[in-house]
């Protein structure tokens, strides 16, 4: 299962664990991803998306349909078909 947000593109980054003695070892910073199901009334469809909590906040602010439409206009592939049935 890939750890990439389908909407924002956030993915794991690498860094260092730093101990008290300042010895550094590699580690990964994982994005906070959630699997969420949304209903889009404009196209009368349920969609399940793996997204970051930052994307969830944007959806709460703008609405799912407007947010997906905005991403599509910017050329981001969301994997969600926004055409009516």
Q: What is the reported pLDDT for 85?
A: 65
Half-sphere exposure of 34 (CA within 13 A, CB side): 9
How many whole angstroms separate alpha carbon 85 and alpha carbon 35? 24
- Residue 84 pLDDT: 73
pLDDT over 80 at 1, yes or no = no
- Model confidence pLDDT, tens digit, residues 14-50: 999 999 999 999 999 999 999 999 999 999 999 999 9
CA atoms of 9 and 74, how far apart (whole Å): 13
**Positions of E strands within the chain:** 13-18, 24-29, 33-40, 45-52
**CATH no., domain 13-73:** 2.30.170.40
């Amino acid at each position: 299962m890939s750890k990439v947000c389908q909407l924002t593109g956030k993915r794991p980054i690498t860094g260092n664990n730093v101990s008290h003695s300042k010895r550094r070892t590699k580690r990964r910073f994982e994005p906070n991803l959630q699997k969420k199901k949304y209903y889009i009334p404009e196209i009368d469809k349920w969609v399940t998306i793996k997204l970051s909590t930052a994307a969830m906040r944007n959806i709460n602010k703008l609405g799912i349909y407007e947010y997906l439409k905005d991403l599509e206009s910017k050329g981001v592939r969301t994997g969600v078909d926004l055409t009516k049935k």
